[in-house]
Amino acid sequence: AKKKLGKLKKTPAISLDGIEITLLANIELPQDAQVAVDAGASGVGLFRSEFLFMGRTGVEHQLPSEEEQFAAYKQVVQVMKGKPVTIRTLDVGADKPLDHSEHNILNPALGLRAIRYCLKEPQIFRTQLRAILRASAFGTLHILIPMIAHAFEIEQSLAMIEQAKAELRNEAIAFDEDIQVGAMIEIPAAALSLPMFVKKLDFLSIGTNDLIQYTLAIDRADHEVAHLYNDTHPAILQLLHMTVSAAQKAEIPVAICGGMAGDIKLTRLLIGMGFRELSMPAALLPEIKQEILGTNIAELEPSIKKILRTYDPHSLQELLSSVRDQAF
Ligand code: PEP
Ligand code: MG
């Protein structure tokens, strides 16, 4: 079976009724980009850039310089040879602490993490944005802003990107003038108020790991509440549906880059809901592709509509399994 999956590498992920799904890889370090290529990914849907900043030894608080970041981002776009690479800006805090001082934070998941941290530390953000923009001259880069909840966070981020562009222009350093900027939808407030954001954004990407954590009020790293981590809770399905609908209405692409995207039990549900881009660990790409190749998306539609109207847990589970088992 492994060999068969390997042969799928160059096959596009097209459903039985002719709909192409873009399958992308999540990466954490530059060297993962080659793994993504080898797995047949159409690009990098999520480069978790914080891994360049974490676990650094030596001088305390020593962060990667603009040159070091530039080299890392450039390496990834070059390995991807023109395929799109979405770099998520620094998402530290909570389960990804930058240094040990953060262990004293009252409630890390609800604290100063991701874009909140970057807007509080504009020098760190500026350095990263400059490095990303410089790397954008060498391929196709997109910027993804994590943990958005407020309109001003988008406005300030876009203003900082414009400022970094102006600096580079003055210094006669090349970058992609039309670099796309998107936001992660991973706080319920963002999913519930998408019209507040979409007009300013080129794309959306749903972080289901945090979306589930914040919607169900369960720490994603706390084993004591792991049994409550239900990715098909009706609240999650509604938020996913709202997000894909808002993106379609605004005519911007929407991806899923959280764990749900790589769960074969959910593939039909997600593509049936209208998602056309899924980003996951590279190792999962072949099996997800095979699932798509054996699915007729149009024929799923009636069941998906029913699922979105079903709140009884037992009936919902039955409908979800019937979608998974449906033969075409
Ligand atoms: C997510 O929250 O689903 C996500 C993709 O980001 P991370 O897991 O890095 O928080
Ligand atoms: Mg997240």
Is 211 a residue whose pLDDT tops 70? yes
For ligand 1, atom 4: residue with the closest CA = 207
Query: What single-letter DSSP state applies at residue 308?
Result: T
Contact 134, 70 (CB under 8 A): yes
- Going by pLDDT thresholds of 50, 70 and 90, the confidence category of residue 144 is very high
Its pTM stands at 0.96
Nearest CA to ligand 1 atom 9: 48
Q: Does residue 100 have a pLDDT over 60?
A: no
Give pLDDT tens digits for 108-124.
899 999 999 999 999 99
Q: What is the pLDDT of residue 133?
A: 99
Exposed/middle/buried for residue 65 (C-beta within 10 Å: 0-12, 13-18, 19+): exposed
CA of 49 to the centre of ligand 1 (A): 12
Cα(4) to centroid(ligand 1), Å: 30
Q: How far apart are the first and last CA of the chain?
A: 21
Q: What is the pLDDT of residues 156-203, one digit of tens each?
A: 999 999 999 999 999 999 999 999 999 999 999 999 999 999 999 999
| Residues, beta carbon < 5 Å, ion ligand 2 | 186, 207, 210
* Dihedral sign, Cα of residue 240, residue 245, residue 246, residue 252: positive
Interface ipTM: 0.99
Atom number, ligand 1, closest to the C-alpha of residue 95: 10
Nearest C-alpha to atom 1 of ligand 1 is from which residue? 207
* 189 Cα: distance to centroid of ligand 2 (angstroms): 14
Q: Which atom of ligand 1 is nearest to the CA of 208?
A: 3
Q: What is the mean pLDDT of residues 271-279?
A: 98
Query: Which of 99-103, 169-173, 241-245 is least confident?
Result: 99-103
Could you give the C-alpha distances from 221 to 117, 211, 230, in angstroms and in order? 20, 14, 14
Q: List all residues 6 or more positions away from 134 whose beta carbon is below 8 Å from its beta carbon.
A: 66, 70, 73, 74, 168, 173, 174, 175
